A and B are shown apart, each in its own frame.
Chain A
Amino acid sequence: MVWFQLGLEHIADIQGYDHLLFVLAMMAPYSFKNWKQIAWLITAFTLGHSLTLALVSLSGPLLSSEVVEMGIAVTILATALYNSSSKATGVAVPIRYALVGIFGLIHGMGFSNYFTSLLGTEHSIWLPLLSFNVGVEVGQIGFALCVLLVQWILIQMLQVSQRSWQLFVSGGAAFVALTLILDRL
């Protein structure tokens, strides 16, 4: 289905890596054994971005695309900083789920910006919207699985500690987020 593919390609597009970077940062404190937390985090993020993707596509943009892009960079930075300050690895407190959901709202606006630019004028938006969102989801989950696999290799086979991975990924993500923010100012 065309719209499913467009959603999948959009999130997997390496030139628009900010969404993937967020997922990477979000998952940094967790590994395969924390699959429950990961599932809930991804669910929270999905609820957030599905909501704004639909709302904004149907009723029009709430914030300008510049503000949204900046917001996305900020969500990455915030997540990375949160990871760095938190002593707990593999634990997710309720506030984290709430934050991820809120960040999802911002990412969804970014998705909507792209999605609406693809539409023609005489479109019933529902099926394309749904398919696009599912494509985004599948891309996200696929990426999350790849990250977990890489993590597993590093932690189980190369004896890297979860905490080191968490800091390393968060540090890298924070730096990139900073450059994105400076670039989008």
Chain B
Amino acid sequence: MLAELSFYLWFMKKLFIVISIFFVSLVAQAHPFHVGVVEISFNSELKRFECAVKLFTDDTERILRNTYSEGVLDIAGANELPQVDSLLKDYLSNTLELSVNNKALSLEFLGKEGNADAIWAYAFFKAPEPFSTVTVSGTMLFELFDDQKNLIHWQTDEVKTHVLTEEKPAIQLVIQ
């Protein structure tokens, strides 16, 4: 009885160790999450869509460096390279697309601000012709992270939120 018990304990200890090692092999990440935020509203006086785009600074740094084969850009830092704004503008023109009546609108870049955590980029899309729906496509950072979620906050008299992912990168908004 004693021999069986001590064998049992030995076995359980070994099993415990093996299973623990298995758990350890699950690499511990510091809980990274991949999110972009786009606030869109329509300025009916100026007949344009006004957008504010928030992206994490480190992700933006990576994607601009990758896309444009650049070295350290120090986005929103003290030594930010002068080409950052135009690279960002180019990147957003290719990834944030608004279409009205099946025609793509062109992005006009206003500028950006931010810090080491996140940057906000401001842009507008002129839409002089009347329309009833607008299609928004936001594929920023999808090529870098397959779990990237870009949230669209469509602001009218209330805020309606949509989530864009690699599986569903575009949404159609109906204007009343």
Instruction: Please give the residue numbers on chain A whose beta carbons come within 8 Å of chain B beta carbons, in ascending order.
Output: 2-3, 5-6, 10, 13, 15-18, 66, 69, 110, 114, 117-124, 128, 164, 167-168, 171-173, 175-176, 179-180, 182-184
Contact = CB atoms under 8 A, between A and B. Distances in A.
Contacts, number: 80
Given A2-B162, A171-B20, A118 B12 contact: no
Contacts of B54: 120
B136 to A, nearest CB: 14
Interface string B18-44: 011111101111111101010100000
A18 B31 CA distance: 8
B39 A122 contact: yes
Contacts of A180: 28
A-B complex: 9 closest residue pairs judged by Cβ atoms: A120-B153, A172-B23, A120-B39, A180-B28, A179-B28, A175-B20, A183-B28, A2-B161, A176-B23
B33 A164 contact: no
A176 B26 contact: yes
B29 A171 contact: no
Contacts of A164: 12
A2 B163 contact: yes
Given A118-B35, A164-B12, A171-B16, A184 B24 contact: no
A176 to B, nearest CB: 5
A86 B134 CA distance: 60
A79 to B, nearest CB: 15
Given A69-B31, A176-B24, 19 more contacts: A2-B162, A15-B29, A69-B30, A114-B33, A118-B37, A119-B37, A121-B52, A123-B159, A128-B161, A171-B16, A171-B19, A172-B19, A172-B20, A173-B23, A175-B20, A176-B23, A176-B26, A182-B28, A184-B28
Interface of B, secondary structure class, is mixed
B76 interface: no
25 contacts: A2-B163, A3-B161, A6-B163, A13-B147, A15-B29, A15-B147, A69-B31, A114-B33, A114-B35, A117-B118, A118-B37, A120-B155, A120-B159, A121-B39, A121-B52, A123-B153, A168-B15, A171-B19, A172-B19, A172-B20, A175-B20, A176-B28, A179-B24, A182-B28, A184-B28
A117 B33 contact: yes
Contacts of B29: 15, 183
Nearest to B147: A15
A20 to B, nearest CB: 12
Name the residue in B21, B30, B52, B162 with the highest tally of chain A Cβ atoms < 10 Å from its Cβ.
Answer: B30
A85 to B, nearest CB: 15
B73 interface: no
Nearest to A173: B23
Contacts of A182: 28
A17 B20 CA distance: 16
